[in-house]
């Protein structure tokens, strides 16, 4: 039969919160309880008669609680096949009870890793009996319903109410799927912890939190976000966040986290179309917007300081799909909320440096995040004219933007303001021409500006283009066999050039 009545439940959980209603329902349906330790005490406090696991197995909890449920009387009751005559005979012979419902909530291993550096404490939070119960019950889903974590308590409550003490095969199989997901995730996190000491190549990506999106990059593509967005942001206002929003938010946050002084970044299709610093967040915003007020429409606005009323009033003159800041003044929020669909996010912390993953062909690529950010001390003057202190400050600023922009990229900046960028070009010459043309189109004077490149110049042509536009200093990684050609051009024309020694390709 596909429908099974629950007569006996084994419950062994770390978190008891949310169990009250479930226990009440099971008790009302005449279900027998098997349990041990703290869970047994909890059940008994709710007026339930409980058979201790120790009574069932004939063994006490031993080795400081490491061994409690690991016994044939327990696992036999879960695993024996009810429609198999030989199994039934053996169950009766060894007086093994039929266990129809298993509720487990594992020791909080992940939480312990986050909160403690004590190896002994962490190791003791590796659940052995609980994970074994989950796998056994999930394997025998034709006869047993398994609940693998506190996150499934509410769904179990619905099932118990709807089925009046019985479960169907489809429900049990769905819970089995969820259970193997929990067990594999749990083991993945344990494996990650042990690999901290070895850093061996391995790929075990597991995430239980997920959110279905309206669609993927385009409406005909399905999209899902796996992760805990609420860990990093509070959404204060606006419509549901889309796939493209998430990609752009990632780009915006990665860039804005590089700066400490009041800064604003405007992102469009993951690239900065505006970026600037100022004495106030309002000044930073106005200078960022000036970089490309056309592309800014419908973009992502990210600030690294609290948005006040004055800044919000200026922002509200243009539609930004997403606004990000560490906080907002109340009157600023009132203004920004005036646009119904605008997504307003409060950023709670920095994005963790967990590496980058990309599916490619029939495999997966992994690499470290580009965590290298050059400072003034990393700039090596290579031309006869040395960079001035003002030029060095602007070169560092421009180089950071280039790091966060699609290759090939050329960035032109001055006084910590993005003036123009050539983005995602197949030729570095095209990127340079695009950056200069764009800066001039929005009225910037490039005399005294600086230029940054994400990779070296194979020829001196980009330096020549920059010089003719009025640019006076250039930063690049260096490393071309023809570096001397670019340096010679600088020497002949009074330009300064600095090498960083670090390439920042981004594809």
Instruction: Count Cα atoms within 13 angstroms, Cβ side, for 332.
Output: 21
Cα-flanking dihedrals φ and ψ of residue 235, to 5°?
-85, 115
Cβ atoms of residues 8 and 100 within 8 Å? yes
Q: How far, in Å, CA of 333 to CA of 58, rounded? A: 64
Q: What is the DSSP string of 81-138?
A: -TT-HHHHHHHHHTTPPP--EEEEE---HHHHHHH---HHHHHHTS-SHHHHHHHHHH
Please identify which of the residues 46, 211, 237, 269 carries the catalytic annotation. 269
Four-CA torsion 454, 455, 456, 461, nearest 10 degrees:
-60
Cβ-Cβ contacts under 8 Å for 243 (sequence gap 6 or more): 213, 214, 215, 216, 217, 223, 225
DSSP string, 30-64: T-EEEE-HHHHHHHHHTT--EEEHHHHHS---BTT
Query: CA angle, corner 14, sides to 170 and 98, nearest 5?
Result: 45
Is 15 one of the annotated active-site residues of the chain?
A: no
Question: Residues 332, 352: contact at Cβ < 8 Å?
Answer: no
Of 142, 224, 133, nearest in space to 180 by CA: 133
Judge contact between 227 and 209, C-beta under 8 A.
yes
Q: At what angle do helices 428-441 and 461-469 cross, to 10 degrees?
A: 10
Is 139 considered catalytic here?
yes
Residue 272, beta-bridge partner list:
267
Q: Is 434 helix (H, G, I), strand (E, B) or coil?
A: helix
Hey, what are 377's tokens? 């001390």
Q: Which of 137, 168, 161, 144 minimizes the C-alpha distance to 26? A: 161
Q: Which of 206, 226, 224 is nearest to 215 (CA)?
A: 224
**What distance in Å separates the CA atoms of residue 395 and residue 414, rounded to the nearest whole number?**
8
CA 156-21-48 angle, to 5 degrees, is: 110
Residue from 189, 72, 70, 71 nearest 125 by CA? 189
Assess contact for 121 and 30: CB atoms under 8 A: no
Among 139, 211, 309, 386, which one carries the catalytic annotation? 139
Residue the block writes with tokens 């080795």: 63
Residues with catalytic roles:
139, 269
């Amino acid at each position: 039969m596909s429908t099974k009545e629950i007569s006996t439940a084994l419950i062994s959980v770390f978190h008891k919160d949310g169990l009250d209603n479930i226990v009440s329902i099971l008790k009302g349906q005449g279900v027998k309880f098997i349990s041990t330790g703290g869970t047994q005490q909890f059940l008994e406090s709710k007026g339930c008669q409980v058979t201790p696991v120790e009574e069932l197995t004939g063994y006490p909890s031993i080795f400081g609680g490491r061994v409690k449920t690991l016994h044939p009387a327990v696992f036999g009751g879960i695993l024996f096949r009810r429609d198999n005559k030989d199994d039934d005979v053996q169950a009766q012979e060894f007086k093994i009870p039929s266990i129809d419902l298993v509720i487990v909530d594992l020791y909080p291993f992940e939480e312990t890793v986050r909160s403690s550096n004590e190896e002994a404490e962490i190791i003791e939070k590796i659940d052995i009996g609980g994970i074994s119960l989950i796998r056994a019950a999930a394997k025998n889903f034709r006869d047993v319903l398994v609940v693998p974590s506190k996150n499934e308590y509410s769904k179990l409550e619905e099932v118990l109410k709807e089925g009046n003490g019985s479960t169907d095969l489809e429900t049990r199989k769905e819970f089995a799927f969820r259970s193997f997901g929990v067990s594999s995730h749990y083991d993945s996190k344990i494996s990650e912890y042990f690999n901290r000491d070895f850093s061996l190549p391995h790929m075990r990506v597991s995430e239980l939190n997920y959110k279905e999106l309206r669609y993927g990059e385009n409406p005909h593509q399905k999209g899902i976000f796996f992760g805990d967005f609420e860990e990093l942001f509070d959404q204060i206002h606006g419509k549901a966040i889309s796939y493209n929003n998430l990609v752009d938010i990632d780009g915006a946050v990665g860039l804005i986290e590089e700066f400490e002084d009041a800064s604003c970044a405007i992102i469009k299709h993951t690239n900065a179309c505006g970026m600037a610093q100022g004495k106030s967040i309002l000044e930073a915003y106005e200078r960022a917007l000036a970089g490309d007020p056309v592309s800014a429409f419908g973009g992502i606005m990210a600030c690294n300081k609290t948005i006040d009323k004055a800044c919000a009033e200026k922002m509200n003159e243009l539609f930004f799909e997403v606004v990000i800041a560490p906080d907002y003044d109340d009157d600023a929020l009132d203004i920004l909320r005036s646009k119904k669909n605008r997504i307003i996010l409060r950023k709670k912390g920095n994005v963790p440096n967990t590496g980058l993953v990309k599916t490619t062909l029939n495999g997966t690529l992994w690499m470290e995040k580009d965590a290298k950010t050059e400072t003034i001390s990393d700039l090596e003057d290579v031309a006869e004219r040395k960079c001035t202190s003002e030029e060095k400050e602007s070169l560092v600023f421009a180089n950071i933007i280039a790091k966060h922009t699609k290759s090939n990229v050329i960035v032109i900046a001055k006084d910590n303001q993005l003036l123009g960028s050539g983005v995602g070009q197949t030729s570095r010459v095209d990127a340079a021409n695009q950056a200069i043309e764009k800066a001039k189109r929005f009225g910037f004077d490039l005399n005294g500006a600086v230029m940054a490149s994400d990779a070296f110049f194979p020829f001196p042509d980009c330096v020549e283009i920059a010089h003719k536009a009025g640019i006076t200093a250039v930063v690049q990684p260096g490393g071309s066999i023809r570096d001397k050609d670019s340096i010679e051009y600088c020497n002949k024309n009074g330009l300064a050039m600095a090498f960083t020694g670090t390439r920042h390709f981004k594809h």
